[in-house]
A and B are shown apart, each in its own frame.
Chain A
């Protein structure tokens, strides 16, 4: 049994025009192994952030459920920490306090010194030493998200949920933080579920990439294995023969769905009408690419 299982999750939202309900996505089933990094890509409105919030327990699924380590996970908890797109740092707390409040609640038995040492360790890890007593307003977007990452990693969650974590950071800083994230993840090896729009980011970070069709009634149509060995870096990854194959495949998928996103997500010639997503693996030579 896999470590984190998203089991036939369906989500309905009340129709904004009043009558009835709209199906955001149907029957999402994902199995993620321990220590795996899985990313979900799709157009805006396909419900990928909703899916992430359901895993986090911040929203309830209409049908289905989340199974973590053999147990149903309902409601938010310290075992599934989110890194938010808009950072969600408390502006009235300093950098140190923002992380300390998380550490204290994750390790209630720890003494004062232990908490301070732990927080400082993670502040150093994201390179924010010297900014401990600054408030978020005094930080750049990149620094804010470093605090967000430090806060998330510091409580050592079983599952790390990244909700478009670098979307609000400028492109140059984004690359730097992505590599910092790889470094941190290399030592912690949390199970990660990420949601993003950025194809390059997804390939750089993930083991598997899930492609979602457009909403409403979005589905997970494909599952792309990132067949580029780790360790990866932004510099070397583009030289791998599979990099552009994967990238083009994903972009083709996204463009196709932007143009004629059928509500049921069927694409001629792909036969994705079933429940299970099509597995795309460029290491398999049997697979015909387009």
Chain B
């Protein structure tokens, strides 16, 4: 079924030229159909195969086009569902209006008419996309401004979070890889240490926070240590596994060639175990990224996680949404950087 589909697609490929001259609206319809087709459960037998033959555009859909379409659709729904009616003063007398203005529900505009108080609007329901864009523009305009001890621009907040993350993650990775190599080369030690690793691994790094805060007495270091605790166990476990399952021949060659322990480590053991180690680092990376945001929230350390919480305290929901988006963007950038680095050290066998 799967393979027949594929051959159909490749046979149909020359028809691509025809589809490109289709009207945009037609294309949109094809794309829509391909989305719904994708949602459909598989295995409609011969019927779906013949369909693929007839409508090549279905499986040749540009993923970016689909993603863009979904995004626009989402924004549209978001916008429409958060639209609020403009203030209508008809049916209200002057006293009622004054009372409402006194309560802060409405404001009087320079032209004498009334409108809903924008400050109060912010906490009524979910803000629309335009409000978030407006908030983002404000924040980005003063990205590099430090207004006070706890009011730093978004660029600073990102910098704090990234450096906190990088410090904890790098320290954890170095220690985890070193310990992992030692455990991986010594089966007895590995088996002795494994129960501890298995117990520590599933503990949420945030569970350590009170103890860490009590011990180091400094929220700045505690936040970094939470990241450290989140990042150390997966890397440690996979490094030990990767080194212990390294092909014996590589170590034999290293032994015959009488390589120094330094060369043995950096030319044979680490590169050989690199693909496994990178997998562990990837898991560590994810859990450290997840841990850094709540750590900042709980500890009140300046950063993007803190931004989300402080905007909540300000009852600025658009700000909260903006902070969430910033966390997402920072995560994506860090992740793609990590993947680039990972690609450099892995090999094919």
Q: 3 shortest A-B CB distances, which residue pairs? A: A88-B249, A92-B347, A92-B271
Instruction: List the B residue with the shortest CB-CB distance to A80.
Output: B256
Check A90/B272 contact, CB under 8 A, given A84-B249, A137-B347. yes
Determine whether B70 belongs to the interface, using a CB cutoff of 8 Å to chain A.
Answer: no
Structural contact, A92 and B274, CB atoms closer than 8 A? yes
The answer for the CA separation of A160 and B267 in the assembled complex, in Å, is 24
The 8 Å CB contact of A101, one of B252, B255, B257, is: B257
Is the CB–CB distance between B257 and A105 below 8 Å? yes
Assess whether A267 is interfacial by the CB under 8 Å rule: no
A135 at the interface (CB under 8 A from B): yes
Q: Which of B253, B256, B272 contacts A77 (CB 8 A)?
A: B256
B178: Cβ under 8 A from any A Cβ: no
In the complex the two chains form, is B348's CB within 8 Å of A82's CB? Answer: no
Q: Considering residues B257, B268, B271, B347, which has the most beta carbons from chain A within 10 angstroms of its beta carbon?
A: B257
A81 CB within 8 Å of chain B: yes
Q: Which residues of B contact A86 (CB under 8 A)?
A: 249
| Chain B hits for A105, CB < 8 A | 257-259, 263
Verify B349–A76 contact, CB threshold 8 A: no
| B256 near A91: Cβ-Cβ < 8 Å | no
| Closest CB in chain A relative to B328 CB, distance in Å | 34
Chain B residues near A88 (CB, 8 Å)? 247, 249-250, 252-253
Across-interface contacts of B256 in A (CB, < 8 A): 56-58, 76-78, 80-82
Residues of A within 8 A of B272 (CB): 90, 92
A93: B residues at CB distance < 8 A? 267, 271
Contact with A along B256-279 (1 / 0, CB 8 A): 111100010001100110100000
What is the distance, in angstroms, from B203's C-beta to the closest C-beta of chain A? 34
Q: Which residues of the partner chain A approach B253 to less than 8 Å between Cβ atoms? A: 82, 84, 88, 90
Bound-state Cα–Cα, A44 to B249, Å:
19
Q: Is A125 among interface residues, defined by CB-CB distance under 8 A?
A: no
CB of A72 to closest CB in B, whole Å: 17
A237 at the interface (CB under 8 A from B): no
Chain A interface, >50% SS class: loop
Interface size on B, residues (CB 8 A): 19
| Shortest distance from the beta carbon of B246 to any chain A beta carbon, whole Å | 11
Query: Is there contact, CB below 8 Å, between A91 and B347?
Result: yes
Interface residues in B225-268 (C-beta closer than 8 Å to A): 247, 249-250, 252-253, 255-259, 263, 267-268
Q: Are A91 and B348 in contact (CB under 8 A)?
A: yes
Count the A-B residue pairs with Cβ separation under 8 angstroms: how many? 62
Is A90 in contact with B252, judged by CB distance below 8 angstroms? no
The docked-state distance in angstroms from the alpha carbon of A91 to that of B255 is 17
Query: In the complex, what distance in Å separates the CA atom of A78 from the CA atom of B253?
Result: 10
Residue of B nearest to A53 (CB): B252
Which of chain B's residues has its CB closest to A90's CB?
B250
Is A272 among interface residues, defined by CB-CB distance under 8 A? no
Q: Which residue of B lies closest to A82 (CB)?
A: B256
* Bound Cα distance from A77 to B259, whole angstroms: 10
* B residues near A82, Cβ cutoff 8 Å: 252-253, 256
Chain A residues near B259: list those with CB within 8 A: 101, 105
CA distance A91 to B275 in the complex (A): 12
Interface residues of A in 58-115 (CB under 8 A from B): 58, 75-78, 80-82, 84, 86, 88, 90-93, 101-102, 105-106
Closest to B275 in A: A92
Query: Smallest CB–CB gap between B243 and chain A, Å?
Result: 14
User: Who on chain A is nearest to B345 by CB?
Assistant: A92
Do B252 and A76 touch across chains, with their CB atoms under 8 A apart? yes
CA distance A248 to B348 in the complex (A): 44
Question: Chain B residue with minimal CB distance to A77?
Answer: B258
Q: Is the CB of B258 within 8 A of A76?
A: yes
Given A77-B258, A92-B274, answer yes or no on A137-B348 (Cβ-Cβ < 8 Å).
Answer: yes
- Min distance, Cβ B259 to any Cβ of chain A, angstroms: 6
Q: A78-B257, A88-B250, A88-B253 known; 8 other A-B pairs, CB under 8 Å? A: A76-B256, A78-B258, A88-B249, A88-B252, A90-B253, A91-B347, A92-B274, A101-B259
Q: Which B residues lie within 8 Å of A101 (CB)?
A: 257, 259, 263, 267
Q: How far is the CB of A211 from chain B (nearest CB, A)?
A: 27
- Bound form: Cα–Cα A69–B256 in Å: 18
Q: Which residues of A are found within 8 Å of B347, using beta-carbon distances?
A: 91-92, 135, 137
Q: How far is the CB of B29 from the nearest CB of chain A, in Å?
A: 45
Residue of A nearest to B251 (CB): A58
> Contact mask B324-349 → A, CB, 8 Å, 1/0?
00000000000000000000000111
What residues of chain A lie closer than 8 Å to B268, measured between beta carbons? 90
Instruction: Write the nearest CB–CB distance from A145 to chain B, whole angstroms.
Output: 13
Give A103 to B152 CA distance when docked, in angstroms: 57
Instruction: Point out the residues of chain B lying under 8 angstroms from A106, CB to CB.
Output: 257
A120 CB to closest chain B CB (Å) equals: 19
Could you show 25 A-B contacts with beta carbons less than 8 Å apart? Answer: A56-B252, A58-B255, A75-B255, A76-B255, A76-B256, A77-B256, A77-B258, A78-B256, A78-B257, A80-B256, A82-B256, A84-B249, A88-B249, A90-B271, A91-B348, A92-B274, A92-B347, A93-B267, A101-B257, A101-B259, A101-B263, A102-B257, A105-B263, A135-B347, A137-B347
